[in-house]
Chains A and B, each alone.
Chain A
């Protein structure tokens, strides 16, 4: 099951006493199939949170667990979408997506069916034989999302996945991700510093303080989204004009600005 739990998590890079304190007493539970975004100033440790769930970093204290099991190492049950796409440049789009399924020993027929379905869903069908460098940044990130989604993971970890894309592509990808997440809900941990993106995508938004990172506030967006029926709008700009959206966004902005002010004080 896809419940992610941070329990009293500290992270120090380097020696415990003198090293860099990145995270301070993080407690957060992400429910199964819930979409949680973490926002915070750069260097606040939000990516470190994601990397601990992925199994790339250990917690100095406390426990990070998925489905009740403490995390020891990376694995395909926790698929990661990286900011820099991190596709295998020597493999075609198809082979990039196929690799994870092969590792899971999925039968050939099954793999073909699943890859076809995801290529279709992500509008990648005609690019199956292309190498990553032949695609635009937005297309490459689509492939990376497809590579993660095709594994049918308990948990999807997205580390500023749209941070490297231009503004227009970014909006298209955000809309597609919403479509994908509604169609096939997963537990998602989404890291971003773009406030609108967090409010638009997430069920809950966690706001972090600057280093050592703590969770300052967790906002429930889903209740407002459902009450105001955001999902009935197709376009992101229509949602972003709604008063309820603006209100949430402004709230988060203020909260982050306090952090910025504290940094300069």
Chain B
């Protein structure tokens, strides 16, 4: 979806590209792909229009859904509904997952108590909850939020837990030595200490949220990008399918990017520390 990781991991030795250079190379790549796409579908006719849409068909599908609407609403409405559910499910998941991860990382007793439940639930693919969620909560928002919560909850718990366990022991001992009140210990030691891993968990949670939402909407929904994909498939409308896919990709990229910016801000001390270590 995005090459966010490359910000941190740059294995190739050599000169770093400047940002404008990077952007221009990126644009060139996209242009070339579009040109090849046009050539393969319209120009040379290598791919039948029924299998994969041409750029023109895709463009007209975009005009179609933006103007008249498709699958029960216009593009803005579908985007709004999908985005709303992802944000709600994601926030719900991390608001429960991160504190639980902190608790498990901190208290051996909590870990012993909760871990067995996790071992049972974890192997169940989040999408397998969809039928049960629909059975319980119907085709509306509640079922989707529940499924997103199931899928996004696990990565935020596990990474937060690992983050707490990764805090250097002497750093924790220094905190005990300084006689920290409990709340301050949590907010000023435990959370910042675990935050690099917490953010990894949030990123994975966000990606899981999008995957699950699209799947849940495919199975049954009144609005949303998954609904667009589903209806377009039934209508044998490849242009619209591609529009739905691209919309999901852009939204996924944009939300991940936002999270990445928050991470850069919150972890300035850490990114700089990593850079200092080389």
Using CB atoms and an 8 Å cutoff, list the residues of chain A in contact with chain B: 54-56, 73-76, 78-80, 82-91, 99-100, 102-104, 131, 133-134, 147, 151
Contact = CB atoms under 8 A, between A and B. Distances in A.
B272 interface: yes
B27 to A, nearest CB: 36
15 contacts: A54-B173, A73-B176, A74-B173, A74-B179, A79-B177, A80-B173, A88-B192, A99-B178, A100-B179, A103-B180, A131-B272, A133-B269, A133-B276, A134-B276, A151-B178
B189 interface: yes
Given A86-B173, A89-B273, A100-B179, 14 more contacts: A54-B177, A55-B177, A74-B177, A75-B179, A76-B179, A80-B174, A82-B173, A88-B192, A103-B180, A131-B272, A133-B277, A134-B276, A147-B174, A147-B178
Main secondary structure on B side of the interface with A: helix
Contacts of B123: none
B177 A134 contact: no
Nearest to A101: B178
A199 B164 CA distance: 40
B179 A104 contact: yes
- Most chain A beta-carbon neighbours within 10 Å: one of B174, B195, B270: B174
Given A90-B269, A103-B184, A131-B272, A78 B170 contact: no
B188 to A, nearest CB: 7
B189 to A, nearest CB: 7
B181 interface: yes
Nearest to A84: B170
A88 B171 contact: yes
B105 interface: no
B178 A86 contact: no
Nearest to B273: A133
A86 B168 contact: yes
Interface string B168-208: 10110111111111001000110011010000000000000
Given A82-B170, A88-B189, A76 B276 contact: no
- Most chain A beta-carbon neighbours within 10 Å: one of B173, B177, B270: B177
Interface in B129-179: 168, 170-171, 173-179
A73 B168 CA distance: 19
Contacts of A88: 171, 174-175, 188-189, 192-193
Nearest to A86: B170
Contacts of A104: 179
Contacts of B269: 89-90, 131, 133
Contacts of B270: 89-90
How many of chain B's residues touch chain A, expressed as a range? 20 to 34
Contacts of B277: 133
A151 B184 CA distance: 18
Contacts of A103: 178-181, 184
A104 B177 CA distance: 12
Contacts of B179: 74-76, 100, 103-104
Contact of A134 (B170, B173, B180, B272): B272
A154 to B, nearest CB: 13
Contacts of B193: 88, 90
A85 B171 CA distance: 8
A84 B180 CA distance: 20
A90 B192 contact: yes
A50 to B, nearest CB: 11
Contact of B173 (A56, A91, A100, A131): A56
A131 B168 CA distance: 17
Nearest to A54: B177
B266 to A, nearest CB: 9
Contacts of A75: 177, 179
A244 B106 CA distance: 52
A208 B189 CA distance: 36
A86 B171 contact: yes
Contacts of B174: 80, 82, 86-88, 147
Interface string B260-278: 0000000001101100110
Interface in B52-78: none
A70 B178 CA distance: 19
Nearest to A102: B184
Contacts of B195: 90
Contacts of B178: 76, 99-100, 103, 147, 151
A87 B269 CA distance: 13
A133 B189 CA distance: 17
Contact of A74 (B176, B184, B188, B272): B176
Contacts of A100: 178-179
B169 to A, nearest CB: 9
Contacts of A55: 176-177
